[in-house]
Structure 1
Amino acid sequence: MQSQSRQRVLSLSLGDVELRLLRVFAAIVHHNGFSAAQASLGMTQQTISTHMRHLEERLALRLCERGRSGFQLTDEGRQVHAATLDLFGAIEQFQSRLGEAQGELSGSLRFGTVDAMVTNRALNLQGAIGAFHRQAPRVRLEIDVAAPQVLYQGLLDGSYQIVLMPSMSGLPAHFRAQAIFSETQKLYCAKGSPLFGIPDESITDTLLEAQPFAGRTYMPDRQICGVNFGWAAATPHMEGTLLLLLSGVYIGFLPDHYAEESVRNGKLRMLVPGRMSFEDPFYIAYPRERPSRAAETLSQAIVRPLSDEFA
């Protein structure tokens, strides 16, 4: 049976249908499950399941196990996924080089970033995207907003060609990571919190430690600004943190630019800004060896205004 399966894989011709099914499979693996991949694919879970069944029938292989125990790749599924990433990488490299030979960038560029970037006026990511399009109008730009740990893994496995994210320690040497700015994180609470009406001078570390704290899933549970916060909730996204704070139950850190409007309209209050503040460095990262020209062009569009500002 195994030799027959291998024969069918070897004889499989890759057309548009097979490529489409493989892209669905790659998205499922990237998001670690059928339901998690629905939003990015724009498909119902039933449609995704049908596509996967068709792919497995064409390959004569069981690629993954799904059910009450969760999503998990089979050994064959891991091999097919690795080959799929190689295939898509080769296709994109061909498209990129063809565009270069024709004197114009083309193909697609997958860019991953964390959330809450629109309100960062110092970064002006939307302006950089506009500049990138003017330089490379034929490149299809695909933007994915994801948690830092997802972006990091996606950069390693080729799901993203370029990422913008904090905390890039431990990145392998064959990737280039350039620090481009620091985001100021401050501590906030909302109406309903017992700290909302207490003057800053009366808020002690002990009082802060007694409050339910909303942390980040990618941050270790350790002292922040010298305080041992009582972690009671966690989320990878700034919007998730904001929702937790607006419940009136939790305190937590947010980028000052992202919290600004909620502070202005009286929904949030900054706590002890003189002590409860830290800088979160951000990096732009992409492969060091043979990066796509599109990735380099987007990186330059993001970095250049910041370099000019601080020159």
Structure 2
Amino acid sequence: MRNRSRQRVLNLSLGDVELRLLRVFAAIVHHNGFSAAQAALGMTQQTISTHMRHLEERLGLRLCERGRSGFLLTEEGRQVHAATLDLLGSIEQFQGRLGEAQGELSGSLKFGTVDAMMTNRALNLQGALGEFHRVAPRVRLEIDVAAPQVLYQGLLDGAYQIVLMPWMSSLPSHFRSQTIFSEVQKLYCAKGHPLFDIPDERITDARLKAQPFAGRTYMTDETICGVTFSWSAATPHMEGTLLLLLSGVYIGFLPDHYAEEFVNKGQLRVLAPARMTFEDPFHIAYPRERPSRAAEALARAIVAGVR
């Protein structure tokens, strides 16, 4: 049976239908499940399931297990996924290089970024995207908003050709990285929280340690600004942190530009800013060797938009 399955794979003809099914498969794995991939694919869960069934029938392989226990790739699924990323990456490189040979940028560019960039006055990202379209109108730009660890892994896997994310020292040397700005993070609580009306001079480290803390899933070091907080909740996104803070239960860090509106409305309050403040450097990163011209063009536009 396994030999027959391998023969099917060897005889598989890759047409538009097969490529479409493989793209659906790659999106499912990227989003870690059928339901999570619905928004990205613009499909219902039933349609996604049908696509996966057709792909498995064409390959003669079981690619994943799905059910109450969650989404899990089989060993064959992991191998096919790795081959799929290589194939799709090669197709995109071909399209890009063909466009370059014809004297214009074309193909597609996958750009990943973290959330809460719209309110960042240090970065005119929307202006950069407009400028990129002006210089590369034939490039199909795909933007994904994801957690830093997802962006990092996606850059390594080739799911993204360029990313904007907090600086990570572990990025391999074959990626080009440029720090472009630093985001100021401050500690906040919401109205109704026990610390909301306490003067800063009375907010001691011991008081902070005693409060439920909403951290971020990618911050592995529990000690921040010299305080070992009591981690009681975690989320990878700024909006998730904001929701937790507005519950009135937690304290947590937010970018000052993102929290400003809620501070002005009296919904949030900064806690001990003289001590509980740190800077989070952001960088853009893309492959160092033979990067796509589209990625370089977007990088230049983003850098030019930094205020």
Q: Which whole-Å CA distance do the structure 1 matches of 2:78 and 2:233 have between them?
A: 33
SS at match of 2:84: helix
Larger mean Cα displacement after TM superposition, 226-235 or 29-38: 29-38
SS at match of 2:164: strand
- Which letter does structure 2 place at the counterpart of 1:140? R
Residue equivalent to 1:20: 20
Residue equivalent to 2:282: 282
Residue equivalent to 2:54: 54
Please give the per-residue CA displacement for 1:139-198, whole angstroms capped at 9, x wherever unaligned.
Answer: 010000000110011001111000000132211111111111110000111111011111
- Which letter does structure 2 place at the counterpart of 1:227? V
Report the RMSD for the aligned CA atoms in angstroms.
1.1
SS at match of 2:282: strand
Larger mean Cα displacement after TM superposition, 190-199 or 7-16: 7-16
- Compute the TM-score of the two structures, normalised by the length of structure 2: 0.98
Contact 2:180/2:283, CA 8 A, preserved across alignment: yes
Contact 2:125/2:305, CA 8 A, preserved across alignment: no
Contact 1:112/1:160, CA 8 A, preserved across alignment: yes
Q: Which whole-Å CA distance do the structure 2 matches of 1:132 and 1:228 have between them?
A: 43
Q: Does 1:81 align with 2:89?
A: no
- Which letter does structure 2 place at the counterpart of 1:121? R
Q: Does 1:6 align with 2:24?
A: no
Gaps of 5+ in 1: none
Residue equivalent to 1:218: 218
Gaps of 5+ in 2: none
Q: Which whole-Å CA distance do the structure 2 matches of 1:25 and 1:150 have between them?
A: 17
How far 1:101 sits from its partner (Å)? 1.3
Contact 1:214/1:234, CA 8 A, preserved across alignment: yes
SS at match of 2:228: coil
How far 1:211 sits from its partner (Å)? 0.8
Larger mean Cα displacement after TM superposition, 165-174 or 48-57: 165-174
How far 1:20 sits from its partner (Å)? 0.9
- Compute the TM-score of the two structures, normalised by the length of structure 1: 0.96
SS at match of 1:71: strand
How far 1:221 sits from its partner (Å)? 4.2
Paired residues for 1:238-253 under 5 Å: 238-253=238-253
Q: Which whole-Å CA distance do the structure 2 matches of 1:221 and 1:164 have between them?
A: 22
Residue equivalent to 2:182: 182
Residue equivalent to 2:301: 301
How far 1:36 sits from its partner (Å)? 1.6
Paired residues for 1:167-206 under 5 Å: 167-206=167-206
Contact 1:221/1:231, CA 8 A, preserved across alignment: no
Give the % identical residues.
Answer: 83
Q: Which whole-Å CA distance do the structure 2 matches of 1:75 and 1:206 have between them?
A: 49
- Which letter does structure 1 place at the counterpart of 2:31? H
- Which letter does structure 2 place at the counterpart of 1:265? K
- Which letter does structure 2 place at the counterpart of 1:240? G
Larger mean Cα displacement after TM superposition, 183-192 or 62-71: 62-71
Residue equivalent to 1:109: 109
Please give the per-residue CA displacement for 1:251-286, whole angstroms capped at 9, x wherever unaligned.
Answer: 100000000101111111111111110000111001
Q: Which whole-Å CA distance do the structure 1 matches of 2:269 and 2:220 have between them?
A: 25
Residue equivalent to 2:266: 266
- Which letter does structure 1 place at the counterpart of 2:215? G
How far 1:295 sits from its partner (Å)? 0.4
Please give the per-residue CA displacement for 1:229-261, whole angstroms capped at 9, x wherever unaligned.
Answer: 111100000000000001111110000000010
Residue equivalent to 1:163: 163
How far 1:201 sits from its partner (Å)? 1.3
How far 1:304 sits from its partner (Å)? 2.5
Instruction: Kindly tell me the number of residue pairs found equivalent between the two proteins.
Output: 307
- Which letter does structure 2 place at the counterpart of 1:120? N
Q: Which whole-Å CA distance do the structure 1 matches of 2:153 and 2:159 have between them?
A: 8
